[in-house]
Structure 1
């Protein structure tokens, strides 16, 4: 039974790992910005870049889902 769903399990594990990595990057960036007392505009730019990177992975997943559905 496990061998039948191996690809699905692998895809879910990869997605969860990427979410975990982005969360850890967010925490690390937050800690560095807080310790160095970066101005608000700098924080907004850094968080925007981090969010756009994560959004790129989400968009890639959505496009891949629709591409494979056809």
Structure 2
């Protein structure tokens, strides 16, 4: 059974790993910004960049699902 679902398990674990990395980056950024008393505008920019990166990975995943369900790739 493991050999049959190896690719699916690998994909799921990769996605969970990426989510975990983005959470850890968010915690690290929050800690640095809080310790250095960064103004709200700077915090907004830093969190915005992190969110754009996460949304890029999410969009890539959604596009990949649509392409694979349509028979492309």
So what's the TM-score if we normalise by structure 2? 0.95
> Quick one: higher RCO (CA 8 Å, sep 6+), 1 or 2?
1
Could you list the runs of 5+ residues in structure 1 that have no partner in the other structure? none
SS at match of 1:3: coil
Kindly report structure 1 stretches of 4+ aligned residues shifted beyond 2 Å: none
Alignment of 1:44 with 2:44, yes or no, is yes
Could you list the runs of 5+ residues in structure 2 that have no partner in the other structure? none
- Equivalent in the alignment of 2:34: 34
- Correspondence 1:1-70 to 2 at 5 A: 1-70=1-70
User: How well do the aligned residues superpose, as a CA RMSD in angstroms?
Assistant: 0.3
- Length, aligned pairs only: 70
So what's the TM-score if we normalise by structure 1? 0.99
